[in-house]
Structure 1
Amino acid sequence: MKSAELTEGESGGPVLPTGRGALSDRVLRALRGRPGRENCGPSGGAVHEADPYGEDLHLALYLCYELHYRGFQGVDPAWEWDPALLGLRAGLERRFLDALRTDTEDRPHGADRAFDGILVEPVHGTGLSHFLQDEGRLWQLREYAAQRSLYHLKEADPHAWVIPRLQGRAKAAMVAVEFDEYGGGRADRMHSRLFADLMTDLGLDTTYGRYVDAATAETLASINLMSMFGLHRALRGALVGHFAAVEVTSSPASRRLARAMRRADAGEAAVHFYTEHVEADAVHEQVVRREVVGGLLEDEPWLEADVAFGVAATDLLDTRVGERTLAAWRADRSSLRTPL
């Protein structure tokens, strides 16, 4: 199987996307200038009035977070720690986080009960992976992969932020799982590389960040969630809950997506990415729940509500992604902001 190359711009990062409103336009104008010389902080009212799940807020937040990953072409790396931009980011995060807490307040606050809600799948599932397995066409698989590429081309990176914030059992187990995500030390087996191979089979551009302009607010919010949790020590419990929720649901969903890729004759690499996750994530689920979550709560039992919040927030945002995408596909139209 030939490995695709992860391509980037000449300066080591993707190009800046197009703005979607006052907040993201303000961040983009700042990033095109010099750090410390731009007033990139809109009034508190502008952030407070923004839709906490909307296009503008989540592109602005995505831009801020990407400075901690690969940055952007032509953008000074010093923006990563610019005080004014960090102040704006904090306001965006508060708006998003407050909405998540409000919209999940009726969910279980105990970790075991939170996991109970996602451990057993319904007999007749209606989510994205079920649709793609049973009805998905090649163009829909391509759209799904294009949006997912904003995470999968950096797979495991957002979760790695939590490692120095853990200790003992939780840290050792988290490192073990991440080691698998990074290919067990082999670049050609890194999950991000395997996803690039999948994209090549589907005829998609493997450039990191290439499909930001096509991604919906719901997709950006789900990706921003893990960056927000990962970049804040105070949210380490939520990040562990998020990671556990991903691992718990990944194996059965990956089995369905492998079937979808095979049925659509998408290619060997496209099928392989998901068959790899069926086996790996079935093991990871047990390690994460017993050792990462169990170890964390043994050391810091007061974080149990945060773990449950991470599970609930993940489920909430994944549901929003699925509902928007399926509504478009069932109307036989593109789920992307800009069709492929």
Structure 2
Amino acid sequence: MSRSIIPTSPRLPQPVGPISSAVVDLLTTGVGASLNMAHPDPFDRDRQLAWFMLNGLSYRGWRDVHDDMEWHPLAVEWRRNLEEWFMEHAHDQVWLDGLAVAEAIEGALAPDETPGAAAWLAEHGRRDHLADAIAMRMPYQMIEADPHTFAVPRLDGEVKRAICDVQAGEYGVGHEFSHAELYARAASALGVDESDVLDRLPGVAFATVNFITACGLRRSWRHIVVGQLTLFEMDSVAPNRLMVEACDRIGVADEVRRFFHVHVLADAEHEQMMEDAVVKRLCVDDPDCAADVTFGIAAQRWIDRAIARHAVGAWERGRSALAELPVPAAA
């Protein structure tokens, strides 16, 4: 029988500003006060990290933090305020104008001026760049599939069955490892350690898992997470194929290549499942949900492009996409 190498509860990351410092204080002492979450940058490192730590209470928890802190009134208030802060930014950035789901997917998958990280790595990447890319994925990949599972009881019919089928593949049903375990092995093979990486990630690296968690936990946002997952599955094969090419060109351990190759194989099937259930059925049978589905697609694409701009921009300047040390952020 295989054994997971994913730790049960990681340590809390180092805070990088007043908001994340307040979260650490609350989670370790139970004491806190109301905070102003407003900030003009939706990917502000301090706020995204604080939000990630609060969301982490609903997953693996944090070492030396009591599980009951998940429902501490102030933790719930702060989490809700951060969700609404980010979603306000997302709605400001994403323009739908009555776009149909199929059109939203077509637009999201269309090439644009933002160079994708996978394409850049396939052509130019080095081992350290690949390690950066793996590290940037860590907040979501260490709990891959879990955020979407929150939405399952809030759905029904064909879309519920389709997501359960997708989740079974993500959790490794019938296989030796889950996708999260495959990721952990890939990260380990590249020397990427969770306890170090979480202290060095930019704010944008936390945005995907924070966004999915918020939508998965709110019934009123359930169709947003359906749209987000639809994009995930329909925009996975080509980028992961490029990552396999990058692995082959750079020369890395089999565990790294396997992580990306498994996604090429699995997501080709998942892509069709989500297209049939969401694009062809859900949004036709229930037109009222279409706006949320298209928003989920477009908002995740907005996040993806921000991640690519950050990573590729850093690499082209000869820098790591990660921070060297936690840097205090302005409130």
| Normalised TM-score (structure 1) | 0.90
**2:226 aligned with 1:240, yes or no?**
yes
SS in 2 for 1:266: coil
Alignment partner of 2:181 out of 162, 181, 193: 193
**2:84 aligned with 1:94, yes or no?**
yes
**2:305 aligned with 1:316, yes or no?**
no
Alignment partner of 2:164 out of 167, 175, 197: 175
Alignment partner of 2:129 out of 117, 130, 140: 140
C-alpha RMSD of the superposition: 2.1
Amino acid at match of 1:142: A
Deviations 1:88-134 (A, max 9, x none): 21111111110100111256632121011134447x98210000000
Aligned residues: 325
Alignment correspondent of 1:159: 148
**2:127 aligned with 1:131, yes or no?**
no
> Residues 173 and 60 from structure 1, CA distance in 2 versus in 1: closer, same or farther, beyond 3 angstroms?
same
CA shift, 1:78, in A, is 0.7
Within 5 Å, which residues of 2 pair with 1:18-97? 18-34=14-30, 38-42=31-35, 46-49=36-39, 51-97=41-87
Is the Cα–Cα contact under 8 Å of residues 142 and 202 in structure 1 kept in the other structure? Answer: yes
Amino acid at match of 1:191: H
**CA distance in structure 1 between the partners assigned to 2:179 and 2:278 by the alignment:** 20
SS in 1 for 2:121: helix
CA shift, 1:296, in A, is 3.2
CA shift, 1:242, in A, is 0.4
- Which structure exhibits the higher relative contact order, with contacts defined as CA atoms closer than 8 Å and separated by 6 or more residues? 2
**2:212 aligned with 1:226, yes or no?**
yes
Alignment correspondent of 1:251: 237
Amino acid at match of 1:332: G
**CA distance in structure 1 between the partners assigned to 2:2 and 2:129 by the alignment:** 23
- Runs (5+) with no aligned partner, structure 1: none
Amino acid at match of 2:241: R
Deviations 1:119-161 (A, max 9, x none): 4447x98210000000100000011111212211211111111
**CA distance in structure 1 between the partners assigned to 2:79 and 2:5 by the alignment:** 28
Alignment correspondent of 2:266: 280
> Residues 49 and 128 from structure 1, CA distance in 2 versus in 1: closer, same or farther, beyond 3 angstroms?
closer
**CA distance in structure 2 between the partners assigned to 1:107 and 1:330 by the alignment:** 35
**CA distance in structure 2 between the partners assigned to 1:269 and 1:167 by the alignment:** 36
| Normalised TM-score (structure 2) | 0.92
CA shift, 1:194, in A, is 1.2
Is the Cα–Cα contact under 8 Å of residues 244 and 288 in structure 1 kept in the other structure? Answer: yes
Amino acid at match of 2:27: L
* Identical-pair percentage: 30
SS in 2 for 1:52: coil
SS in 2 for 1:321: helix
> Residues 49 and 146 from structure 1, CA distance in 2 versus in 1: closer, same or farther, beyond 3 angstroms?
closer
> Residues 108 and 246 from structure 1, CA distance in 2 versus in 1: closer, same or farther, beyond 3 angstroms?
farther
**CA distance in structure 2 between the partners assigned to 1:106 and 1:242 by the alignment:** 15
> Residues 15 and 40 from structure 1, CA distance in 2 versus in 1: closer, same or farther, beyond 3 angstroms?
farther
SS in 2 for 1:47: coil
**CA distance in structure 1 between the partners assigned to 2:85 and 2:13 by the alignment:** 22
Alignment partner of 2:276 out of 283, 287, 290: 290
